[in-house]
Structure 1
Amino acid sequence: MAPDAMPAGTLLQPRPSDAFLLGSPNWRSTKQLRTPGHIVSTAEKFGRSAQEIALRLSKLGIEGIEAGLYSNDHWRTYRAEIALLATTDPHSTGWHPQSEVMPYHHLATTARRIQLPLADAIKVAEHYDIRVSPPPPDGPIKASNSIGDVIAAARHMGVGLDKFVTYTGEIKFADRIDNLLLEDIDDTNKPIALGHLHYIAQELDLDIDEVTQYVVNVGLTPPNVRRELSTDDLELISVDLDGRGPWLDTRLPVQPHHLIKAYADLYLPPEQVVARLTSLGFRMAFAELPDLTGFPDLTLLRQASTGLYLDPDKPVTLAHLVHASRRRSEPITDVAERLQKLGMKVPDLATTVRNAMARVPREN
């Protein structure tokens, strides 16, 4: 892996301003650094042309930037662009990626706020190759609409409920059961998670059969298994072991990392976890139970910066592999192999390292 990992060429000489381009002091991801919002806001802040910023970021190894989209004018203001290109994600302070559809709701409400005609706002998005979601059918979704109406509208637009809510803005229903249903459903064509159904029943003190029938009435599919669940069971079948969504999927095998986290957080022996999950209709992705003596794998499963568990639905990053390797004084290949055995998504290590080294900036 090592001999051919480092491409030939002289390393690019850094500039003092490069740290600002890369998001110092809160270093941004490559995905954020290539966004039009980051480029034009940086250009406005430092009085440079947006094209100059785009070209320098490309030289610094940030791929996927089309410099021709950006103005070569210095000291230009980007008031409308900065407002429109800001992310709608409440958990982020970043910029909207070109790879994601911009919610129509965000575009329309921002255009009204900055007193920009909607047609001009759409032109801004289109100029930077950002697609805008279609407006919701028959006008905005209001609190008076039923969840059945929302589900039908989402299907009409061809998106999941999570994307639909992002596109149309926050939705609040008069009935709490509708709001709870909306909390943890993305794909309306898939059965509702077993945990989600029972969570609603416990929150509203309803019989599980009542909730199941309501789910069917609004056009959703109930879980493919029927079991009685306790509060402890809800904790066990939640991905974060907190009794709330997201939930384990009865259609997918349970991975070893979930047993390790259940042992650490819920103090449940793996034999008991396997027995209970199996009785609830889950199947295991392994034949042998993981070794939990001294919690050897917790350092692999926790993020070093936050102490939180890695997201099992996302690929493990090279940065995490390197950090875990150093903490455990083990070869990075052993760390990657162990995480794979625990059921985590680990990209091919040789390819990951080679791609990372290829992004190291070099002189032409």
Structure 2
Amino acid sequence: MPNSPESQDPDDLRITRVPVGRDVSWVRPGQPVPFGHVLYAAATSGHSPAAVVARLTALGYADIELPDAPLPATVDPGDALLLKADTYNVSWLDLGKPVPLRDLLAAAGRQGLSPAEAARRLTAFGCTVPPAHPLPESPDTRDIVMIRTDPRGSGEWLGWGDGTTARHVLKTAATLRCNPHTVATRLTALGIRLPYVPEPEDERILQHPGAPLGHVLAVARETGRRPADIAARLTELGCHPQGTVPDTWDEDDLRILSQELDGRRPWLERNNVVGAGLRHILRAALATDRSPADITARLAALGHWLHENAKVPDVADPADIRLLETVDRSYLDGVHLEHVLHSASLTGRSPADVASRLTALGHRLPDEVDYPEVCGAPRP
């Protein structure tokens, strides 16, 4: 065979220009030959790593990166790819530098290995894996997303022993659509420092990171802890509990804080712009056999205030609930003729009756409009 680095011999090209997916690992004359290239060339050509080193040396490649340990007799292509760096083009890990956390997790994810197993195999090849504590023994392809400061695709990468924020945990969990506790425990297992220590109950506490008050009370009931303690833990975990946490509460509080009035999620979200909905208050009054004024007062005490323009009726009337269901205007918006006609068509009431009742409930309607007294047939 020709003894030139420019050899075009097919067998030589198999170890100097090695396809890696859609790219090529190409060693050039006068430049260092990475150990990862040696291993992958051996794995794909059918030669031993020692034979590849010998042939490259014969071709004039003098700077070949090799570990202190003996070369393996054979190597699997997947194991060789563990030394591929997580870059857009083909590059290989440097034996003289510690393996970055990003590269370890990317390699483990590509090969379906746990971080611990990937670290063991890289160490056997002569690489240095920094952490002193045990890495996770379970594989998780989401690891590489968890250590990116912007999990949506940009940002920097967390390294060995780096610290991160509770906000990062929440953002990553939202991106991965998983419980933030899953992210927190995994990051901790990878050696990333959090501003808090994950606790088993966090999984339940973080089932609703938006932290509506109904969720706080429900978790307090399930765990036997004070609502204030649950709210404090949510704050420590980076969430912002909604509403005003009560010192004492009862089952009715859970009912009126749930959208379906059954004491379960979905919970009533606090609206800081237009306040609580009057329709919800009337429905809650019927469901609990309490007056609308009583429900309004209790919701206000829990941080769900009613807009100042709203007028709470003395009695909850199902007809009002049906009417308000057809209105998509808040108390900050004016109700115009087209809205009145729409509600009239859905309820079977006359436009004049609809306009009169909406006015009585606090909605703003223009004075100059004459509304028809004729009732139409309600839509199904």
Q: Which one has the largest radius of gyration?
A: 2
| Bigger relative CO (Cα 8 Å, ≥ 6 apart) | 1
Same fold, judged at TM 0.5 (above): no
* TM tier, smaller: 0.3 to 0.5
